[in-house]
A and B are shown apart, each in its own frame.
Chain A
Amino acid sequence: MQQRATKACFIFLILSLYLLIGPAWSAEPIKIGILGPFSGSLAHNAEEMKNGMLLALDEINSAGGINGREVELIYGDTSCKPAEGMAAAKKLLTRNEVLALGGGYCSSVNIATSSVAQQEKTPNVVAIAISPTITEVGNSYVFRSCPNSPQVLDGMNAWIAEVKKPKKVAFLMENSDYGRDAEKIWMAVSKRVGAEVLANLYFQIGATDFTTEISKLKELAPEVVFHIASTTEAALVQKQSKELGFVTQWVSAGGQFTQAFFEMTKSMCEYGMGATADPNLMLKNPEAVKFVENYKKKFKDARPGLFGSQGYDNLKVIANAIQRAGTLSGNLQADREKVRNALISTDLELSQGRIRFDEKGQLTNTFVPVVQISTDDRCEPKLFVVYPLNIATKAYESPIPWDKRKCK
């Protein structure tokens, strides 16, 4: 008898505690699914994207949520593998019954997961993944809040054709949709400027030893090496190039320029180039400046990077569409339809610039500047815009041999 009374007391205590500290929201939270490779070799980049989203989530919820309802994020781990991504997406859409799907990362995964969203008739805004295929296949529920690879590389290609004009080029690419799509674009550019393509080398995601590849490249001596790789692989390529004394102009899409990359390579990445809308460089965009400030305040010692900024914008785009969709009826399918219709007319100024979608759901009218890495007095690597010239913060410099560099 006494035992039962104690148990009742205990339950009462727990319940009252819950009511006391529980949120004072008027209704059930609005659930948004977030996909990303939260485990595996890209986990740190997914973490940066997540941080950007958490910053956006703070801003949304502290301003009263969406129409008085709190926003809740539910994460799905893709491990950067299409099959796992599809399972995670399916779980978020059918079991967690999220209203919309955001996040992303890894083109191959997003090509698969966006088709799941289409099947389930759920709006899916892809945050980070640049393969054009994602929006080109014509899935009416799929949007992308970041540029695709032709958009990312437009500025870079102009720089190659007008400034660098290489005679001999080579490719060192990640064997994925990210790498293969970029290769197509750069092959066309090489042909246009009349450059001879010496080698097309591929490596698997997660590869560590590139000495075979770099030795071969050194033998061929190309002026420019087009290079698509994620943070770790890209850092290892820089390190091993130094070990083997290989000098070339590395040209990349810029996705690898993260805090982890700079900490791993230090000055070894000097002269590397990429195309990136890094928020630290977007000094003329007040939203980017605000993002950088708030990010530094919320995450001490963390560098606000491209992925944080893209994650931030992604959640803001989704939240804004839900807000404009008006009061939700509670019928999941009807609500998802409403959000999708609201997404079509998105027009927002965010940390990556103005966000609007074309009829395929792709971000339009975007421009990604060309950047080069240079080192400061303490030999710490830093990004500078080198093209187009009207917004350049530094002139382009050709790479010099390792023993002549001031940072060893």
Chain B
Amino acid sequence: MDSLFLQQITNGLIIGGVYSLIAIGLTMIFGVMRISNFAHGDFSMVGAYVAVFIVACIPGWFGFVSSILGAMVIVGMLGMFLERSTFRPLLSRRTDIDIILVSIGLSIVMENLAQLFFGSTPRMVRDPFHGITVDLGFASASLLRLVCLAASVAIIIFLQIYLNKSRNGVAIRATAQNQKAALLMGIDINKVYRLTFVLGSALAGMGGVLYGTLFAIAPNMGVMPTLKAFIVTILGGMGNIRGAIFSGFILGVAEALGGSYISMDYKDSIGFIIIIIVLLITPNGLFGRRGA
């Protein structure tokens, strides 16, 4: 196989890891609460700005690690607040359009507040690894990118274990499967809602730190992650966490290969083209259960 092909696969997997991370939060929140959160990418933006301030205080890789943890905590808290104040009151109304409109409005408000407080000038977080490039033999990538891939894979595995083994994790999965049955089994639904939203937001926050460290940080940076996360979520089946994990990597690799071998101009449309094809063939997404 030629080196360009392997290089593009590597590029795709790295960006795919970030896509997965952000999309898992979105799909979890949808699975449990049936909320399509169009402000999800703006949660990532907040996480990225947390990183800007932490990295400015703590240099080196330690600053990078603390910014990931800091962003998860702060964005998680933001999620908890918004869930209680904004989303939960809407759930009783049971109309999707209300929730969608509110989340779009929230996205606009967050973007403008960020512009007000942090200014519109885009920033870049200093690479904690000083731009070291690693030659993998078949491809090359910066150490930063490889660390980002490792971090997203690690957190995805950790989340899988948490959801499958812990009591709270099982409660989340039970609620996602059948809310009424879960309620009858004595699961505190409101607590599950809160936990899901906090987890989902924290993942978005961490995704934002990675996205912002790899790329640039600006108030409007949430648009792209939101879009990609929705593509991944639909591709993997709405609410399907395992589907989101694989679809994230599939989208990343498809964009890299499609961009390289079909047409660079349409790189960002490739995701949508895949969605149309997948929805025509399997309407519940690649990994969605029939009749789900």
**CB within 8 Å of B: which residues of A?**
39-41, 43-44, 47, 175, 201-204, 206-209, 211-213, 215-216, 219, 231-232, 235-236, 239, 242-245, 259-260, 263-265, 268, 402, 408
- Complex Cα–Cα for A43 and B115 (A): 9
Beyond A43-B120, A212-B259, A215-B8, is A206–B145 a contact (Cβ under 8 Å)?
no
A242 touches B122 (CB 8 A): no
Beyond A212-B256, A264-B124, is A207–B268 a contact (Cβ under 8 Å)?
yes
**What string of 1s and 0s marks CB contacts (under 8 Å) between B221-244 and chain A?**
101100000000000000000000
- Complex Cα–Cα for A194 and B121 (A): 40
**CB within 8 Å of A: which residues of B?**
3-4, 7-8, 11-12, 14-15, 112, 115, 119-124, 130-131, 133, 140-142, 144-145, 211, 214-216, 218-221, 223-224, 255-256, 259-260, 264-265, 267-268
Beyond A40-B220, A44-B120, is A245–B140 a contact (Cβ under 8 Å)?
yes
A216 touches B15 (CB 8 A): no
> 4 additional contacts, CB 8 Å, given A41-B220, A213-B259?
A212-B255, A231-B122, A260-B121, A264-B124
Report B-chain residues with C-beta under 8 Å of the C-beta of A244. Answer: 133, 140-142
Report B-chain residues with C-beta under 8 Å of the C-beta of A209. Answer: 11, 15, 214-215, 255
- Complex Cα–Cα for A216 and B267 (A): 13
Beyond A212-B259, A242-B131, is A202–B220 a contact (Cβ under 8 Å)?
no
B264 touches A202 (CB 8 A): yes
Report A-chain residues with C-beta under 8 Å of the C-beta of B131. Answer: 242-243, 268, 408
- Complex Cα–Cα for A125 and B145 (A): 45
A266: shortest Cβ distance to chain B, in Å? 9
A243 touches B265 (CB 8 A): no
Contact of B145 among A212, A243, A264 (CB under 8 A): A243
- Complex Cα–Cα for A287 and B267 (A): 45
Report A-chain residues with C-beta under 8 Å of the C-beta of B112. Answer: 39
- Complex Cα–Cα for A242 and B220 (A): 25
Beyond A39-B115, A216-B260, is A235–B265 a contact (Cβ under 8 Å)?
no
Report B-chain residues with C-beta under 8 Å of the C-beta of A216. Answer: 4, 260, 264
Report A-chain residues with C-beta under 8 Å of the C-beta of B120. Answer: 39, 43-44, 47
B223 touches A203 (CB 8 A): no
Closest residue of B by beta carbon distance from A47: B120
B256 touches A211 (CB 8 A): yes
- Complex Cα–Cα for A206 and B120 (A): 14
Beyond A231-B122, A243-B144, A408-B131, is A215–B15 a contact (Cβ under 8 Å)?
no
Report B-chain residues with C-beta under 8 Å of the C-beta of A204. Answer: 268
Beyond A43-B120, A235-B216, is A213–B7 a contact (Cβ under 8 Å)?
no
